[in-house]
Amino acid sequence: MPESPPHVVIVGAGFGGLACAGGLGHTPVRVTVIDRQNHHLFVPLLYQVATAALSPADIAQPIRRMLGRYPNIEVRMADVVGVDTAARRVGLADGGAVPFDRLVLATGSSYGYFGHDEWAEHAPGVKTVEDARFIRARLLTAFEQAEACDDPERQKALMTTVVVGGGPTGVEMAGAVAELTRHALARDFRRIDPRAATVLLVEAGPRLLTTFPEELSDYAYAKLRDLGVEVRLNQAVEDVREDGVRIAGRFIPAGTMVWGAGVKASPAGRWIGVETDRVGRIPVNPDLSVKGMEGVVYALGDTALTMGGDGRPLPGLAQVAKQQGQHLGRALRANLSEGAPMPPFHFKDRGNTAIIGRSAAVFDFGRYRLRGWFAWILWAIVHVYLLAGFEKRLLVAMQWLWRYATYQRGARLITNPTHGHVERAASPLGEAPQGAQGSEPRRRAAG
């Protein structure tokens, strides 16, 4: 009787998990990919869904279709609630359990609210399709309400959008909202002038895009100001309510609030009972195995605390997760089929980019830096290329071209109940919430 093949379970079908699964495709290894969603999401473009430029389906692909060509890979849509490392089993919310020989944790991260998880309801991050749809509905509804309203104070409040966090997500979001109000919405109202809308970008630190060189931060600041965004540096958010935020002691009424600050890893660290760093990341060895669980449990992407060549933690970027997934997939394939040792992971920096708006982006390649129109074109090419699947690439590229020519937005749909932000966190499988994780907000496993 032949031995049954080793079974690798990958939790999370984000950039890291998918890359790892791909590396194990067409091998004698049995692989199961578990995700709470049925689709892989291209999260870096999600802010474009939130600002009505793209549809969710433009940046999402069914995980089954992406891995369908590998007969040795099974996909399971389920919520993971815990891991029994001794018995080597992953526990699911539906009561099921998936046994494993090797476990890869690629469950991504969410935003941290500095101990104020109740703020999430009013100022959601941009991590899931539901988040993006909620923000889109809230933003567009606020302008509808302003149009129907006679009180100038309330109109101004409804037409105010506050974006928290001056990292790439915050900068992209603030720029996109400003362009939406200045162009796509500009001529469609009779009583309000959307061009007069306020977009506030709040950053607690002294500059925007702190992971970029200072000259690119300055460029982003200047470009956002040109777009009409009010940038507030060195100011922390002190409170978030349904109707606005308190910043530097002053309450600012707002119709829409978006959160892009702080980072919190998924609860994977608690599943396996290891000590994590301050933001929940699992410390791993150079081969990405979890310390103390060598040869059995691995973690990558935003879930893992990986040290770079300079001794500092690697940043939470899609390219880090993707490279780690590719590395781990190859390493596990060689290890499981030939008994090869697990080599250490080395990050190759492909450059870092952020987009501010039409014709304005920044690129940091270490020695080279780019900004402006050419950086924007490069940004667009890179993102269209990275979008998985030919059909999507072409469609997204066409929509970008169209919008560039017309300033229009194709996905101005209000469909989510604005007050549905809490209910929408319910599982699509109708299962009980992740009780084991306590008050952890339920989030998509995305690398």
Q: Please, what is the minimum distance in Å from the beta carbon of residue 175 to a second copy?
A: 21
Per-position DSSP letters for 302-330, written without gaps between them: GGEE-B-TTSSBPP--HHHHHHHHHHHHH
Shorter beta-carbon distance to a second copy: residue 9 or 129: 129
What's the distance, CA 369 to chain centroid? Answer: 25
Shorter beta-carbon distance to a second copy: residue 114 or 402: 402
Binding site for a second copy (CB under 8 A): 37-39, 55-58, 60, 62, 64-65, 68, 74-78, 94, 96, 129-130, 133, 137, 140-141, 144-145, 147-148, 187-190, 391-392, 394-395, 398-399, 402, 406, 408, 410-420, 423-424, 426-430
Shorter beta-carbon distance to a second copy: residue 79 or 203: 79
- Collect all residues with Cβ–Cβ distance below 8 Å to 443 and sequence separation of at least 6: 108, 110, 127, 128, 266
Nearest-angstrom CA–CA distance, 262 and 239: 15
Query: In 3D, which of 62, 181, 44 has the Cα closest to residue 126?
Result: 44
Annotated catalytic residue: which of 3, 118, 147, 172? 172
What DSSP character marks residue 181? I
Q: Please, what is the minimum distance in Å from the beta carbon of residue 201 to a second copy?
A: 26
Q: Please, what is the minimum distance in Å from the beta carbon of residue 65 to a second copy?
A: 6
Locate 294 and state its tokens: 């060598």
Nearest-angstrom CA–CA distance, 281 and 230: 33
Query: In 3D, which of 28, 23, 74 has the Cα closest to residue 323?
Result: 23
Q: Please, what is the minimum distance in Å from the beta carbon of residue 252 to a second copy?
A: 21
- Collect all residues with Cβ–Cβ distance below 8 Å to 186 and sequence separation of at least 6: 193, 194, 195
What's the distance, CA 171 to chain centroid? Answer: 14
Q: Please, what is the minimum distance in Å from the beta carbon of residue 160 to a second copy?
A: 18
Locate 153 and state its tokens: 């104070």
Shorter beta-carbon distance to a second copy: residue 37 or 110: 37
Strand order of the sheet with strand 352-357? 352-357, 360-364, 369-372
Shorter beta-carbon distance to a second copy: residue 193 or 287: 193
User: Would residue 172 show up in a list of annotated catalytic residues for this protein?
Assistant: yes
Residues annotated as catalytic are 172
